[in-house]
Amino acid sequence: MTSLPAFLGTNNVPEQGSEGTPRIPAVLRLGPQSNSAEKDSAGPSAPQHKRKPGRPPGSRKPPASPLNVGTTNATAKKRKVAPKTQSCKRKSNTSNSQAARTKDARNRGERSRDSTHSSSNLSTKVTSNGHGQDSSYFLGWEEYEKNPYDEMKNPNGMIQMGLAENQLCFDLIESWLAKNQDAASLKRNGQSIFRELALFQDYHGMPEFKKAMAEFMEEIRGNRVTFDPKKIVLAAGSTSANETLMFCLAEPGDAFLLPTPYYPGFDRDLKWRTGAEIVPIHCSSSNGFQITESALQQAYQQALKLDLKVKGVLVTNPSNPLGTALTRRELNLLVDFITSKNIHLISDEIYSGTMFGFEQFISVMDVLQDKKLGNTEVSKRVHIVYSLSKDLGLPGFRVGAIYSNDEMIVSAATKMSSFGLVSSQTQYLLSALLSDKKFTSQYLEENQKRLRSRQKRLVSGLESSGITSLRSNAGLFCWVDMRHLLDTNTFEAELDLWKKIVYNVKLNISPGSSCHCTEPGWFRVCFANMSEDTLDLALKRLKTFVESTDCGRMISRKSHERLKSLRKKTVSNWVFRVSWSDRVPDER
């Protein structure tokens, strides 16, 4: 059995009680192209290690550490992880290098405290930049908030295309609320239950709500698999759920492997408070960013070289930011990998109800069932994170969940949920909504249609500007290829292009470097958090920008067609994410 944090086996938990890479710039300069308006902040994956002497700028040496794609946890530096079987010399070297890193981290923390709070003693959580707020992903939001677009009040404002919200089916939920006044008014059979809901509820959650959640998750998966409500732990959104799992599965300094590109918020959710580390599984556009066995093995070996203990793999399925669902081949590969390494697998499936392609969503639960691993030790190391934020478009309701077959995990995570409970009022309302099977069936079908239509509208508009994107079948965004608009094949050029789009075009999109993509020029563009008119305006602005740039004028129609032809040859083997021969019979 794989090791778990020490406290899971004790009674100490209170009873009441997330191939080569171009060099990423160390400093990200935001603002219009004038010195007076510039703002200095750390780069998209700050802090950066200093480049080794002799390595030319822009060289493509693979990253030597996961720390160059995320912020460093000082606690990880203090942890001695050298195996006992290593030689004394290896132990000594490891100890010395760790001591140096620990001293380095301590000095950085002390300098930060001295510069801002000379008379205060604050924790490194406060004084460090481990939250990742200085990522271009979050900085784009800050710029949007200064000048938000409004059709009537601010038509020249910035359009938010960096926020993955699903606003396409609010009318369906509003219609249900109008027809179900008891639930909306906190009543039962016409009688108010306000006082009942206003009183303290324990952290186990309402049984009727957990049952409704389990059945909704089953419905999204075509009722091929079942979920036991007793194995569900409620949390205040998937952010809380992922962090709770990190606390349950990893000690400070332990590592999880994540395929790139990945959601920028994971640097905060998984690392900031837990002290865990992220080691990237480098995926490439050459195969549509699919996970391969060699990439998994390379990431695992890289972690060992860094003296990090690998506790598991975390994936988003469907992927954020790619907008693609994992294939059955990838899921089988992941299950086989964590089985062979005796580690955990976290499958974040918060976009499972956003599948708008004609394929069925395949959950890791499907794979466990197909492999007849349902009641095995392997199944105890596979955990699912879910939320109603994306499928129902309710991020403000803060409803997340952990599903695990490990009783110790469920018990400890339930106690931890005291720090982020779902309100009784929310549970009551949504248990009524999710229990209405006629509504959920119609909602999922209509949501799929609207997402498909909106995604096609975005892709078509981008293509009219000579911009292509990864073939997607899920999610609230597209992974857009703007490599041909870069001045040079570097992340500096990517950030320059991003700043032009943010400040000149006034569109907030997320650069690939903020998602730790290893190839410059990719951007995540959201499409479900605005009206069709607003999307059309955004596409019009972008087209005007592309046509007005030197790059746009220089790319002749002939060269553009040649570029498209080259891409078509490159992607022909992966554009559908799975070849016909790779599909199992029930997928055809």
Please check whether residue 162 is in contact with residue 142, taking contact to mean a CB–CB distance below 8 angstroms. no
Task: Answer yes or no: 350 catalytic.
Answer: yes
Candidates 177, 197, 165; CA nearest to 389 is: 165
- Catalytic hit among 231, 311, 390, 506: 390
Q: Using CA atoms, how far apart are residues 511 and 139, in angstroms rounded to an integer?
A: 11
Known catalytic membership, residue 406: no
Query: For the CA atoms of the chain, what is the radius of gyration?
Result: 24
If you search the block for the tokens 């093995």, which residue do you land on?
297
Q: Which of 24, 350, 402, 467 is catalytic?
A: 350
Q: Tally Cβ neighbours within 10 Å of residue 129.
A: 17
Name the helix (H) or strand (E) containing 257.
strand 255-259
Length of the chain: 588
Pick the catalytic residue from 134, 254, 348, 391. 348
Rounded to whole angstroms, the Cα distance separating 357 from 363 reads 15
The answer to whether the Cα torsion of 11, 14, 15, 18 is positive or negative is negative
Per-residue CA distances from 459 to 361, 505, 537 (Å)? 22, 18, 14
348 catalytic per annotation? yes
CA dihedral 572, 454, 238, 199 (to 10 degrees): -160
Strand duo 477-481 + 468-469: pairing? antiparallel
Query: Exposed, middle or buried, 531 (CB in 10 Å: 0-12/13-18/19+)?
Result: exposed
CA atoms 543, 544, 546, 552: torsion sign: positive
Nearest partner of 292 among 324, 254, 253, 336, judged by Cα: 336
Q: Taking Cα atoms as reference points, which of 411, 575, 547, 504 lies closest to residue 159?
A: 504
> Alpha carbon of 425 to those of 188, 204, 421, 439: distances in Å?
12, 15, 11, 20
Amino acid residing at 64:
A
3-state secondary structure at position 484:
helix
- CA neighbor of 502 nearest in space, from 25, 37, 26, 23: 37
Measured distance CA(258)–CA(283) in Å, rounded = 10
Which pair of tokens denotes residue 501? 């789009």
Cis status of the peptide bond prior to 318, with omega within 30 of 0:
yes
- Which residue stretches of 188-233 are H helix? 194-198, 207-220
Which one of the listed residues 263, 300, 386, 403 is annotated catalytic?
263
- Catalytic residue numbers read 263, 348, 350, 390
